Amino acid sequence: MINFQYTRASDVADAVRQIAADPTSKFIAGGTNLLDLMKDDIEQPSRLIDISQLPLKSIDGTDDGGLRIGALVPNADLAWHPLIEQRYPLLSRAILAGASQQLRNMASTGGNLLQRTRCFYFYDTATPCNKREPGTACSAMKGLNRGNAILGTSDACIATHPSDMCVALAALDAKVHIAGPAGERSMALTDFHRLPGDMPQRDTNLAPNEIVIAVELPAQGFANNYTYLKIRDRHSYAFALVSVAVGLELDGNGIRRARLALGGVAHKPWRDKSAEAVLEGQAAGPAVFARAADLLLRDAKGFGHNTFKIDLARRAIMRALTQAARGTPQSISSKKIA
């Protein structure tokens, strides 16, 4: 870890001023990802601006019946918040499927959005990586790419976004609230993360002088018919090979509304509205689930070690849709896939 200066931000405006004044600085909140990366010299900020004491820790109702979650709400507190457990159990379970309780106690909502990839080569400073050092090469493309992306990849990068929480947020139509020098703006969670293209060093559409201040959920939480199904090499405390977040609004066996997002397969939570459209207005069942899976995975491409993910994702989507339609969401602690 390189040496760095440390300052505290007194409020959001001060945080924005400080980051704008020093482009080599970084915000720190929970620190669980940033300090890890700094210890390996992957992140080398000259200054850390401590935002952990800013008043962004509340969960409040919104005028349209949704919830606004402060960017500094710890992941554990969010997952176990009574309103989240009751109204957005998909989000609760997705959060609890990720990391460990110690990390969830530290990690913030905003920081979860800004996690960097867990691609082996991004972490291995002895190898080229276009995300870490633009213009070098992608070592994962022909390397050990079991964990890497099958959708939305580019010639420059096949990294995945590691978050579970963001997969649920994508399915739930969450919005991200951002503050910057020009004031506040918001964008859909699905527009927040980007595909690698020829700029894999950029994970998100957040400008360098902006700060995430909140995440907003709409009223519909799909609390009756949902699941978060995470498939991984180890039963707990491992990143997803493939994960599926599903929210269904049912009328009998008919699907009125469907939300479907994949994790572990792309540079961002993967959502394809055409797959949801094919489900809506249909009776829940394997034939229509298979059509949705085909649509979601129609452009999937493997790179050798990760090619199995295409078939795995297809089966996981089918299973997750079945779980959600039956109202039997995947348990976090029992590892049996129902």
Partner 1 sequence: MARTTAAGQANFSIPDRIPITLIVNGTERNLNVVPWTSLLDALREHLDLTGTKKGCDHGQCGACTVLVDGRRINSCLTLAVMKDGAKVTTIEGLAADGTLHPLQQAFIDHDAFQCGYCTPGQICSAAGLLAEGRAKTPDEIRELMSGNICRCAAYPNIVAAIQQAMGAS
Of 14, 17, 22, 35, the one binding partner 1 (CB under 8 A) is: 35
Total residues contacting partner 1 by CB under 8 A comes to: 37
Confirm or reject binding of residue 52 to partner 1 (CB under 8 A): yes
DSSP-derived pairing of the beta strands 254-263 and 242-251: antiparallel
* 137 counts as binding partner 1 under rule CB under 8 A: no
Interface pick for partner 1 out of 9, 67, 73, 106 (rule CB under 8 A): 106
Under rule CB under 8 A, residue 1 binds partner 1: yes
Q: Measured at the alpha carbon of residue 147, what is the angle toward residues 146 and 149, in degrees to the nearest 5?
A: 105
Q: Is 41 exposed, middle or buried (0-12, 13-18, 19+ CB in 10 A)?
A: exposed
Q: Min. distance of Cβ 35 from partner 1 in angstroms?
A: 5
Query: What x/- string results for residues 155 through 174 when contact with partner 1 is judged by CB under 8 A?
Result: --------------------
Task: Find the part of the chain contacting partner 1 (CB under 8 A) among 57-65, 87-95, 102-110, 314-322.
Answer: 102-110
List the interface residues with partner 1, window 164-223 (CB under 8 A). 201
Q: At 259, phi and psi to the nearest 5?
A: -130, 135
State the nearest-atom distance from the C-beta of 226 to partner 1, in Å: 19
124 part of the interface to partner 1, by CB under 8 A: no
How far apart are CB 157 and partner 1 at their closest, in Å? 15
Q: How far is the CB of 8 from partner 1 (least distance, A)?
A: 9
Compute the C-alpha angle 118/119/124, nearest 5°.
100
Contact 121, 90 (CB under 8 A): no
**CB contact at 8 A, 242 and 224:** no
**Interaction between residue 31 and partner 1 (CB under 8 A):** yes
Show Cβ contacts of residue 166 under 8 Å, excluding neighbours closer than 6 positions: 112, 113, 189, 193, 263, 268, 269
**3-state SS track over 239-269:** CCCEEEEEEEEEECCEEEEEEEEEECCCCCC
**Near partner 1 by CB under 8 A, which window of 94-102, 156-164, 183-191, 309-317?**
94-102
Q: In what order do the strands lie in the sheet with 211-217?
A: 59-61, 67-70, 211-217, 175-180, 183-188
| Nearest distance from C-beta of residue 214 to partner 1, angstroms | 21
Q: Which stretch binds partner 1 (CB under 8 A): 158-166, 210-218, 295-303, 328-336?
A: 328-336
Q: Is 47 or 301 the residue whose CB approaches partner 1 more closely?
A: 47
Buried residues in 163-175 as b, exposed as e (16+ CB within 10 A): bbbbbbbbbbbbb
Note the residues at the interface with partner 1 (CB under 8 A): 1-6, 28, 31-32, 35-36, 39, 41, 44, 46, 48, 50, 52, 76, 80, 99-103, 105-106, 125, 133-134, 201, 236-237, 332-335
